[in-house]
Homo-oligomer: A and B are copies of this chain.
Amino acid sequence: MEVLRNVAGLRSACDEARRHGARVGLIPTMGALHEGHLALVDRAAAEGASFRVVTIFVNPLQFGEGEDLDRYPRTLEADLIACRERGADAVFVPEPGAMYPPGFQSHVEVTSLTETLEGHFRPGHFRGVTTVVAKLFLLAGPCVAIFGRKDYQQLLTIQRMVEDLGFPVEVIGHPVVREADGLALSSRNRYLGPDERRRALGIARGLAAADEAWRAGERDADTLRRVARAPVAEAFDRIDYVEVVHPESLAPGEGLLERATVLVAAHLGATRLIDNLELGVDPPPVRAPAAGARAAPRP
């Protein structure tokens, strides 16, 4: 497995792989890798990528003032071992200066899709995401790139960018990977103390409750919102949003819905967690009986 430290190295490794007939697959991450990331390496292989490049870059452009850029977990040694074990062919680990040298002043921006939800609470976040992903695409020239669906709005935004500007890459969203108790894997979970870890399940419970309601026939947007929100409100210190939206446009659901995705962002102390579920489509985050028992006490 090659470890590439600068942009020229990334470009030439991918050019070289292509010259030998390989299909380049890209897995962009911010490191602190967990099974949710490593599943993306497997998925890249399943999508036919024969040269799989994991990028590890804590992208300063996508962090706002007062966010956790400085304390974001860095576990490079363990990440490299995990990538090697998982069969990655190369890992790109640039210094910030390598991606944004002095004078850097170019950005890629997707507008409408990024105005709500994460975009509302993290102004500038998606501009940072689309800029770094565009640059990674341009340097690596992948046929396929794999992103986790936990960052659901990010996935839609990147797919929109690719479609609008004509990037010659297929962008695939891989399902959320969860702990046995339903907590979505996240590099930020390691911030959680034992009590917070327990309370963090409020999100999975809210999603499970809405999903159960949906599978039982509930289609009213406000009702679904209320059902999803209650367990989050109970467990978390602060809610940014618990929203029910159209799975593709992200337009807020109104009245009776044909399709719906629930998106959640909420705080436990200094830690902000996000998660989402397409109702009736994604696998339930926790086994239905347990979720039901907790989310909506039975008579």
In the bound complex, CA of A227 to CA of B104 (Å) = 34
Q: Give per-residue flags for A79-111: 1 if the beta carbon is below 8 A from chain B beta carbons, else 0.
A: 000000000000000000000000111111111
Report yes or no: B105 in contact with A108, Cβ–Cβ below 8 A.
no
A110 touches which of B106, B138, B167 (Cβ 8 Å): B106
Cα separation A282 to B89 with both chains bound (whole Å)? 49
Given contacts A11-B168, A166-B11, are A106 and B160 in contact (CB under 8 A)? yes
Interface residues on A, range: 20 to 34
* A30, CB-defined interface residue at 8 Å: no
Residues of chain B lying within 8 A (CB to CB) of residue A139: 166
Q: Would you mind naming 20 contact pairs between A and B with Cβ atoms under 8 Å apart?
A: A7-B166, A11-B166, A11-B168, A103-B160, A105-B110, A105-B113, A105-B160, A105-B164, A106-B108, A106-B160, A106-B161, A107-B111, A108-B108, A108-B134, A108-B165, A109-B109, A131-B165, A134-B165, A138-B167, A138-B168
* Distance A175 CA – B182 CA, assembled complex (angstroms): 63
- Cβ of A75 within 8 Å of any chain B Cβ, yes or no, is no
Which residues of A in the span 1-48 have a Cβ within 8 Å of any Cβ on B? Answer: 7, 11
Which residues in B have their C-beta under 8 angstroms from that of A113?
Answer: 105
Contacts of A130 in B (CB 8 A): 106
A7 contacts which chain B residues (CB < 8 A)? 166
